Structure 1
Amino acid sequence: MDAGEDGHIRTGTVWTATAHAITSIIGSGVLTLPWSVAQLGWIIGPIILFFFACVTYYTAILLSDCYRSPDLVNGRRNYTYIDAVRVCLGAKDVVLCGIVQYGVLWGSIIGYTIATAISMAALKRSICFHKNGHDATCEVSGNLYMIIYGAMEIVLSQCPSLEKVTWLSYIAATTSFAYSLIAAFLCVVKFATNHEFKGTLMGAKMGHGVSPPLRTWHAFQALGNIAFAYTYSQLLIEIQDTLKSPPPENKTMKKATSYSIGATTIFYVTLGCMGYVAFGNDAPGNILTGFYEPFWLIAIANLSVTIHLVGAYQVFAQPIYAVYEKVLASKWPTSSFLTKVYTIKFPCTNPWNFKFTLCTLVLRTMFVILTTLISMMFPFFNAVVGLLGSLAFWPLTVYYPVRMYMVQTKVERRSRKWMGLQILSMLCFVATLLSGIGSVADVIGSFKHAKLFHIEL
């Protein structure tokens, strides 16, 4: 175990980092990919999938070199993404970056809560169709499932830190592969039974309620959905801070990044393209809601989604807990509310004694309750995913990693590398701007038609 120069014990390896990364990358966004490819068509859709994968991988490699400053191997540790921004760019960028980063993390958690409820509601409706036939009226509400999911997260929120939920990430990473494989398999089977190659070169066509503006908004929103599917960079530094050394943390993190993004890209391209060839331009916003048979396989897939998102919730929530608890501790260092540790002992299970402070018990519980209530009020999945992707991708995945890397490695202004990085940043800014326009338009449209506290399937 590595106690490090700061006295903090780190036990992470390339495999634990890969598990955390896969858990944070493969989330609810993967279920929107067939719909996203359907909006872009056979030419642009796969190209965009590979483009976002390459950009995410490259900027993640740049960001991993910002964990220690100023020296890449022996410099001072930056424990969080915000710490790296503060050291490399200064205090002026910290506030804006913090608002974006933690806002997107929170928004992702809201999206996960909605996605879990959709999966469980789809499972219940699948049971209804299995018993009563596909012509039966099987209306379900996702509110109960959101409440159950929230209750589970209240319990798990008492885990002290991200490093302590590694076991949850292993389970979540395994289940993410499970439901991605099942969804891809179901799409292959549907394609085989259709006996036709669906989809068009340029995506969804006008007509049948699809106007030219709506088609444009949906194409732009698809960019945000794909960007959200590659959400990762804002958690990279936090994951890297769990790694032991030697070898140097940046070297281990680069390996974990290549493994995790490589594996997820294979899944994304397979599922996105196979879902499109199976459903064509009628691909549903959540691909699993398009299947009801075989019943047992659909059940496994939806349960896998639920289990995965239980773990992903904590991977995204722990950095939020850490930052506000750190701020509170700095302002009131002697407060018993923050520092006094209480212990609940369970008979014959000494290692499993429950230790907590009133701060973690009360504030984390309130956070989960508030998140659940917001998810219940605005349960439109696709619009939320697209908006989050558009908000997160350029600033957190491209802009700040590129700027920090250029400062960290002293890239010469107007050099070939400097120009290349600037062009990359501008291209991604345009993609983010377009996806933001499309996602905002879809959110407004969803407000007009959606019912509060009524989930869409």
Structure 2
Amino acid sequence: MAMELQRNLSFSIQNGGFDSEFDDDGKLKRTGTWFTASAHIVTAVIGSGVLSLGWAMAQLGWVAGPIALSIFSLVTLFTSCLLTECYRSPDGTRNYTYTQIVKANLGGMKYLLCGVAQYVNLVGITIGYTITASISMAAVRRSSCFHKEGHEVGCHSSNNGYMIIFGIVEIILSQIPNFHKLSWLSLLAALMSVGYAFIAVGLSIAKVAGGKHVKTGLSGTVIGVDVTSSGKIWNTFQALGNIAFAYAFSVVIVEIQDTLKSSPPENQEMKKAVSVGVSITSLFYLSCGILGYAAFGNSAPGNILTGFGFYEPFWMVDIGNIFVVVHLVGAYQVFCQPVFSIVEDWCSNRWPESDFATKEYSIGIPMCGLYRVNQFRVIWRTLYVIFTTVIAMMLPFFNSILGLLGAFSFWPLTVYFPVEMYISQRKMPKFSAPWMVLKVLSVVCLIVTIVAAAGSIEGIIKDLKAYKPFQSIS
């Protein structure tokens, strides 16, 4: 009788029983559609990377700039579609995370390499977000100063204090043990990212409509006028890294696909969602890059909201930068939580009897209820935020850091692993036509990644020559 009941229970779950409350894996029935998945993709992709696209266009020009943006868009769309095919293993088993998909399809050393690439990227993004948030915080103060004192006044201030403020806020938020329950913060962050991106586009349109002539060109910045010949090459490479960073969202595709209903099949719906989401984002990015370049020409600032090509209306510039800060406060937590979890899980498994690593204490907080405190969690998370803040204070270079992050994440996470998993799952014969096409794509993207990383590293080295650590100024 017990065995029969268990078989009936399993059958009911696998076939959507219990009033269709459960999916085939026993979890509550997913309700997402291609439309909701498209919305998730748009909010995941549009972020601080959009602020550098005007500068990237200035380095590439009217011809290469739109072409580069379009190629990155097409490659991202293609490899994302390959990745959607790997959500389920050949036996129908679901894979819930990017690394789980890699482990199921490739296993072994490639799984470890994927983990290293992903977590290094996550740490790098939190450092980049600290830099970006501090620059935007300083820009709010400078904008008000320019409005009161005039545009000729420098209104410079140190970024370090703003980085410390940002770090303190993140230390507090990092102590929340169940951050995933604060879905409202993630929603707010997504709304802020769309908000400041639209403000940047709107201000660019207004500047172009103003009729002031700026110098642009088919090949962008001019050698001997705007840059040296070597500077042109390095900036071009770095611009590719900035574009790659703007399209870096592959690590969340699996989680988004895991929200979709089982029927129609998830891979079909996710392909539709990816096509819509990437198309909308690409049109938006082309608008940002083209309008940013049209507004500022070859002297386009590295960050369109903090480079002060816009002075008025100052309140609109302030709102845009406040949106950036609010977005990054939440986005920082989204990207650091997986880093927190992997270390804490390892320590609790390594020392299960340790009170320091596993025991939680309850503390009553007025109007908030009980708060669970773990000694290791408090110390580890605090030290992590301090580490990212200190590194950001040492290397506060917006475009170079974004370019480096984009280069490091683009090839391994956006191209290499999706291609290798698709080849493995489809059991493609070596040197067959499809196998050759995918391998050539991977190699070409690897070359682009290498030159983008080289350009970004050269930019960091050049910036370091004229920079004293912990003395960044906006």
Task: Report the 3-state secondary structure (helix = DSSP H, G, I; strand = E; otherwise coil) of the residue aligned with 1:85.
Answer: helix
Q: Is the 8 A contact 1:2 1:245 kept in 2?
A: no
Write out per-residue CA displacement over residues 117-138 of structure 1, whole angstroms, 9 at most, x where no aligned residue. 1111111111111111112231
Write out per-residue CA displacement over residues 205-258 of structure 1, whole angstroms, 9 at most, x where no aligned residue. 0124621011100011100010011111123334445x2643455455445434
Q: What is the total number of aligned residue pairs between the two structures? A: 451
Partner of 2:75: 55
Between 27-36 and 245-254, report the one with greater CA deviation: 245-254
Displacement, 1:341?
3.4
Write out per-residue CA displacement over residues 307-338 of structure 1, whole angstroms, 9 at most, x where no aligned residue. 11112212211222222223223322343334
Question: What do you get for the CA RMSD once the two structures are aligned?
Answer: 2.5
1:343 equivalenced with 2:359 (yes/no): no
Partner of 1:257: 274
Task: Report the 3-state secondary structure (helix = DSSP H, G, I; strand = E; otherwise coil) of the residue aligned with 1:287.
Answer: coil
1:188 equivalenced with 2:205 (yes/no): yes
1:404 equivalenced with 2:429 (yes/no): no
Partner of 1:309: 328
Q: Distance in 2 between matches of 1:24 and 1:43?
A: 28
Q: Distance in 2 between matches of 1:109 and 1:335?
A: 30
Q: Which amino acid aligns with 1:303?
A: I
Equivalent residue for 2:457, pick from 437, 440, 456? 440
Partner of 1:37: 57
TM-score, with length taken from structure 1: 0.91
Equivalent residue for 1:388, pick from 405, 410, 418? 405
Q: Is the 8 A contact 2:174 2:333 kept in 1?
A: yes
What is the correspondence of 1:346-357 to structure 2 with a 5 Å cutoff?
Answer: 346-347=365-366, 353-357=370-374
Structure 2 vs 1, CA of residues 159 and 20 (structure 1 numbering), >3 Å: closer, same or farther? Answer: farther
Partner of 2:89: 69
Q: Is the 8 A contact 2:30 2:262 kept in 1?
A: no
Q: Distance in 1 between matches of 2:299 and 2:359?
A: 56
Partner of 2:471: 454
Write out per-residue CA displacement over residues 401-424 of structure 1, whole angstroms, 9 at most, x where no aligned residue. 110111123234333322221222
Write out per-residue CA displacement over residues 151-200 of structure 1, whole angstroms, 9 at most, x where no aligned residue. 22223223446743432222111111111111111111111223447410
Q: Distance in 2 between matches of 1:12 and 1:366?
A: 39
Partner of 1:246: 262
Q: Give aligned-pair identity as a percent.
A: 48
Task: Report the 3-state secondary structure (helix = DSSP H, G, I; strand = E; otherwise coil) of the residue aligned with 2:210.
Answer: helix
Write out per-residue CA displacement over residues 101-129 of structure 1, whole angstroms, 9 at most, x where no aligned residue. 11111111111110011111111111111
Equivalent residue for 1:320, pick from 339, 346, 358? 339
Structure 2 vs 1, CA of residues 17 and 328 (structure 1 numbering), >3 Å: closer, same or farther? Answer: farther
Q: Distance in 2 between matches of 1:253 and 1:327?
A: 33
Q: Is the 8 A contact 2:157 2:473 kept in 1?
A: no
Q: Is the 8 A contact 2:131 2:396 kept in 1?
A: yes
Q: Is the 8 A contact 2:23 2:262 kept in 1?
A: no
Partner of 1:216: 233
Between 40-49 and 412-421, report the one with greater CA deviation: 412-421
Structure 2 vs 1, CA of residues 26 and 173 (structure 1 numbering), >3 Å: closer, same or farther? Answer: same
TM-score, with length taken from structure 2: 0.87
Could you say which structure has the larger radius of gyration? Answer: 2
Q: Which amino acid aligns with 2:383?
A: M
Q: Is the 8 A contact 1:337 1:358 kept in 2?
A: yes
Displacement, 1:285?
0.5
Q: Which amino acid aligns with 1:292?
A: Y
Structure 2 vs 1, CA of residues 168 and 140 (structure 1 numbering), >3 Å: closer, same or farther? Answer: same
Q: Distance in 2 between matches of 1:224 and 1:260?
A: 21
